[in-house]
Amino acid sequence: MGMDPHTDRGCPKCGHTETDVGKISTTGGGLSKMFDVQTNSFNVVSCTNCGYSELYRDTTSGASDIVDVFLG
């Protein structure tokens, strides 16, 4: 059975279709961790209903592309 784009879109956990997009940065390992250098950047897409969140490595593409991936 394939996915119907009209019925299978939304939060993977609750099906809600509204999201918030934020950013976080993290340290890597080794010297970057020792000197607290933020070497990894991620976009965080969170459901506004249940709070379910997914991280996507920041590739400097548009935030709307990431929301499309989150919602299916």
On whether the CB atoms of residues 69 and 15 are closer than 8 A, the answer is no
Q: What is the mean pLDDT of the chain?
A: 75
pLDDT in tens, 40-56: 889 999 999 999 999 99
Q: Residue 59: what pLDDT?
A: 76
Residue with tokens 């918030």: 20
Q: Domain spans of the chain?
A: 19-71
Residue 72 confidence (pLDDT): 61
Single-letter code of the amino acid located at 7 = T
Which residues are within 8 A (CB) of 16 and not within 5 positions of it... i.e. 6 or more apart?
A: 10, 47, 48, 49, 50
pTM of the predicted model as reported, rounded to 2 decimal places: 0.62
The arithmetic mean of pLDDT across residues 23-49, rounded, is: 75
8-state DSSP, 35: T
